[in-house]
Amino acid sequence: MIKLTVTKKDESQKIEKYVKKALSEAPLSFIYKLFRKKDVKVNGHWVKPEYVISSGEEIAIYITDLQLEEFKEKRDISKANLPYEIVYEDKNILLVNKPRGVLVHGDAKEKKHTLANDVINYLYFKGEYDPNLDNAFTPAPAHRLDRNTSGIVAFAKNLNALHSLEELFKDKVDIEKHYQALVVGVLKEGMEISAPLKKDANTGLVKVTSIKDGGMPSLSIVKPLKHYSNYTLVDVNLVTGRTHQIRVHLSYKGYPVVGDSKYGNFEVNKLFKKDYHFENQFLHAYSLKFKEIKGPLEYLSNKEFKSQIPEYMGEILKKLK
């Protein structure tokens, strides 16, 4: 977190402008996201971007040390085509089929080889983004997938599109995300899993608990698609979207995701590693469906975009068959 005190020199300006100066290396998309997430406060109270600051006020910006380091580092941008499948693209958005093993954003270990950087290089290559322009909007993802989960990730090419996508993913009323997962066990009927989830800040693991004990409301709708001996390929409609939600919910109900190293069946995982050289969770975000939406992305209403399950996963299903 950054704490700043407004001086006479900086008073009587909008806080949006003040924060842009304080985080001059950060993309505009990140700045606006801070305000939307209520991560900018004045004297302990959340304010809107148009708030006019006064001398002596204390401003708190909730940002991690890792994020600050990333912004200070010179971004290595080069024109390059996108090495991944493009599911859909127009002037506002880009839907990319992310392979497993690729981070959407950087972390402490990997900052350069990320999907976000690859998309930026691609749009620079196409002439739709110029990093040399002052205050240029940096294309950004509107949501994330785990490193080892493959599937569709939505990027915004401009600020209006980012606002629209983030609101859709936040409210989860006018957009549906569907995943395919191979689980251990024979699931004969569909089920709704409504189980609050809480993440342990120390271990990074997520567990089912009560709302009273700090759990966040979480809902997954699961339907069986096909049976393979003692396994079931399922469709999961991720209604809420908490960290590790699908993996924790399915494990909680006795149908762990094959290959899940945190919440899975470790004996089955060993078997899949030995027989199929498969060591990651069998989970793919294959469908993104827009309902009736308004605003700059209204033209996407009632459209559904899909990506095929990765070939190596398909080969495993054939062998199980």
179 shares a domain with 156: no
Closest CA to 195 of 233, 224, 222: 222
State the DSSP string of 85-120. Answer: -EEEE-SSEEEEEEPTT-BSS--SS-SSSBHHHHHH
189 and 114, same domain (yes or no): no
Same domain, 166 and 180: no
Contact predicate 257/264, CB 8 Å: yes
Number of H helices, E strands in the chain: 8, 16
Catalytic residues: 146
In a domain, 77, yes or no: no
Same domain, 165 and 181: no
d(CA 209, CA 220) in angstroms, rounded, equals 15
250 within a domain of the structure (yes/no): yes
Q: Which class for 230: exposed (0-12), middle (13-18), buried (19 or more C-beta within 10 A)?
A: exposed
In a domain, 97, yes or no: yes
What pLDDT, on a 0 to 100 scale, did the predictor assign at position 107?
53
CA distance 42 to 13: 13
CATH number of the domain to which 254 belongs: 3.30.2350.10
Residue 150: per-residue pLDDT: 97
233 with 307, same domain: the answer is yes
The pLDDT value given to residue 134 = 59
Are the C-beta atoms of residues 59 and 42 closer than 8 Å to each other? yes
Q: Report yes or no: 138 and 129 within 8 Å, Cβ to Cβ.
A: yes
Asked if 197 and 245 touch (Cβ cutoff 8 Å), the reply is yes
- 166 & 176 share domain: no
Q: In this structure, is residue 38 part of a structural domain?
A: yes
The residue ranges of the chain whose pLDDT is under 50 are 108, 110-111
Residue 79 lies in a domain: no
Q: What is the pLDDT of residue 17?
A: 86
> Is 23:15 a contact under the CB 8 Å cutoff?
no
Residues 215 and 191 in one domain: yes
Q: 129 lies in which domain range?
A: 86-170
User: Do 210 and 306 sit in the same domain of this protein?
Assistant: yes
At 108 the pLDDT is 47
Same domain, 157 and 197: no
- Concatenating the DSSP letter of every residue in 126-166 gives HTS--TTSTTPPPPEESS---TT-EEEEEEESSHHHHHHHH
pTM: 0.79
| Residue 181: other Cβ atoms inside 10 A | 25
pLDDT of residue 29: 73
Residue with tokens 């919440």, as numbered in its chain: 263
Q: Return the residue matching tokens 């993913």.
A: 169
Residues 250 and 286 in one domain: yes
pLDDT of the residue at 172:
82
Which residues, 6 or more positions from 222, have their beta carbon under 8 angstroms from its beta carbon? 187, 190, 191, 192, 193, 234, 235, 236, 237, 249, 250, 253, 255
Number of domains within the chain: 3
Same domain, 196 and 276: yes
Q: How far apart are CA 34 and CA 255, in angstroms?
A: 37
Same structural domain for residues 186 and 280? Answer: yes
Please indicate, yes or no, if residue 253 is contained in any of the structural domains. Answer: yes
